[in-house]
Copies of this chain bind each other. A is one copy, B any other.
Amino acid sequence: MQAKSFLPPQRTLMGPGPSDVNPRVLAAMSRPIIGHLDPVFVGMMEEMKGLLQYAFQTNNALTLPVSAPGSAGMETCFVNLVEPGDKVIVCINGVFGTRMKENVERCGGTAVLVEDDWGAPVSPEKVEDALKGNPDAKILAFVHAETSTGARSDVETLCRLAREHDCLSIVDSVTGLAGSPLYVDDWGVDAIYSGSQKCLSCTPGLSPVSFSERAVERIQARSHKVQSWFLDLNLVMGYWGGGGKRAYHHTAPINALYALHESLVILAEEGLENSWSRHDRHHAALRAGLEAMGLSFLVDAEHRLPQLNTIHVPEGVDEAAVRGELLNRYGLEIGAGLGPYAGKVWRIGLMGHGANEKNVLLCLSALEAVLADMGAVTPGRALSAARATYAQQG
């Protein structure tokens, strides 16, 4: 069997995630391995819990990184909170809402759907109607930041409605965390999951989650065992739970956790509010440049995520060819559309470490060059518009 070491090319990742990783995070990942029950490692985990609580703006004791990607974080929320026969109101305004429905059904629950257009936010009015019409519903589940469209929904209002109707809330903030305002405690979120590879600018593979006390009580009072042994929080709590003694559950992904810890240290150094406003600032410049090229956004300005910019592919342009050119000529990755928007939109990420002026200028220059070569845009407008926006920001 012959094979060689894999030497990846240098890319700039401006898709829907994974995003560009801070070199400090890569350096942390390659530090010497220690045991997952080593007292020094346990100390690092305790510190990480505090850093995650800061990122989520919560005091929830049950705040930890699930040892697998965001989809497993989603599944952690559903398998622990949904019991067979439970009714769950699931809001669908993109790919990840449909995945929540799948999760509910695979847990033996019944999903009541609240559907909005892909690209629109979740409608609080429709949610309120669904809650009123289903007084036996136990959970409201929705996506804060839809990675498939770039739409932002109103977490505060939706979680308030859930509490008013005696429901727990499950919130997907895979793309939201650290990129857009999120206050888990103040907004009354009961269960939330995110991903390491979006606005935290860590490598993919971990999913930070947090559960309120109400949610923990529900988990501890279950009448059926959690269907997943790996994701059963009653067991995971024995390892990540309150300090001191750690019961072996599974082997933690040690070096990946070094990386997440470093990315959270970087976030704490910058400050959460500063991270949010940095995403806004660079989004404004990118938007100005894209609009100067004549490109338009899928999501209306009010509900647009700064960290994920979804734009319509101009009429007659082969979108995959454009992405191929960007990758081959500039080492630049942007994302394709999903579901009904496959072939119709591009998704441009400005996430975490990648939300910077250099990336904005590269993206605009490269996209303008490729589209101008195809005769789809008039060159020479994008950069000046972006620069003017930066100049106005001072």
Contacts and interface: CB of A to CB of B under 8 A. Distances in A.
A29 B28 CA distance: 10
A67 B327 CA distance: 26
Given A1-B50, A34-B11, A333-B38, A204 B26 contact: no
A73 to B, nearest CB: 9
Nearest to A256: B205
A54 interface: yes
A223 interface: no
Contacts of A333: 34-35, 38
Contact of A204 (B1, B36, B50, B107): B36
Provide the main secondary structure of the chain A interface.
loop
A106 B32 contact: no
Contacts of A362: none
A106 B33 contact: no
Nearest to A333: B35
Given A13-B33, A31-B7, A54-B1, A103 B252 contact: no
Copies of this protein in the assembly total 2
Interface string A18-46: 10110010111111111110111100100
A70 B18 CA distance: 24
A130 interface: no
A279 B254 CA distance: 24
A6 B45 CA distance: 10
A250 B70 contact: yes
A225 to B, nearest CB: 6
Interface stretch (A260-268, A293-301, A365-373): A260-268
